Amino acid sequence: MYKINQIFSELFSANEFFESNHVRMRPYKIGVDKISTLFNQDDWNMIFSNSDRSTLDRWSMLDDRIVLSCFNKDTHLLFGFIMIFQPRNGDNDVWFHGGGWLHNRKTSLLVYEGLYKILEFLIEKRFNVHVSCLKDNVNADLLQKRFGFVEFAADDKVSFKRLDRGRFEKSRIPNRVEKCFEKTCY
């Protein structure tokens, strides 16, 4: 069993959900969550270029990754997903991917809070976290940099980044997000 799957299996055997203050995550359920149908095709292509909408269902069944559905903890509204993939040759390396289809201030806050919680968990478990995004996906690139991801490679279309733990730990994201929720600034 891949380390990533083992860790999340243990986590979800003890708890039904993985939670932050405002976000609840659980394993993706095929036929229930139907995440890919909630994206418009252009947004889906920005996340997974050259893949059809059934890709997420197939990927969720593989043992080298975990796919999580993300919900607003208060309203129970499904707003996005996170996929964490572990390459065969990478004992402590994982690749992180995800997306959401609701584009408003509150959802942005939920995305930031949920991602921060997952990244914090992966760091605690001693994973080296990597991401990639299409170079023309300006929103994903900016979000990755805000969390402390630093580019280590690129080609004509894709930027590859790794999480710099020092930058991540210095990030003010949790404080900013919580202040916005306290002020109900969404």
Check which CATH number belongs to the domain holding 137 and give it: 3.40.630.30
End-to-end Cα separation, the chain, in angstroms: 42
What pTM value is reported for the model?
0.87
> Among 111, 109, 106, 110, which Cα is nearest to 96's?
111
- How is residue 128 written in tokens? 């080296």
Q: Which pLDDT score is estimated for 1?
A: 53
| C-alpha to C-alpha distance for 186 and 184, rounded to whole angstroms | 6
83 touches 104 (CB < 8 A): no
| C-alpha to C-alpha distance for 38 and 35, rounded to whole angstroms | 5
| C-alpha to C-alpha distance for 5 and 75, rounded to whole angstroms | 28
Q: Which pLDDT score is estimated for 185?
A: 52
In terms of residue numbers, what domain contains 77?
3-183
Q: Which pLDDT score is estimated for 182?
A: 75
Q: How many structural domains does the chain have? A: 1
77 touches 71 (CB < 8 A): yes
Q: Which pLDDT score is estimated for 132?
A: 93
Residues of the chain with pLDDT under 50: 186
Cβ neighbour number for residue 45 with a 10 Å cutoff: 14
74-96 tens-digit pLDDT: 999 999 999 999 988 767 899 98
| C-alpha to C-alpha distance for 110 and 182, rounded to whole angstroms | 13
17 touches 25 (CB < 8 A): yes
Q: Is the torsion defined by CA of 58, 64, 156, 171 positive or negative?
A: positive
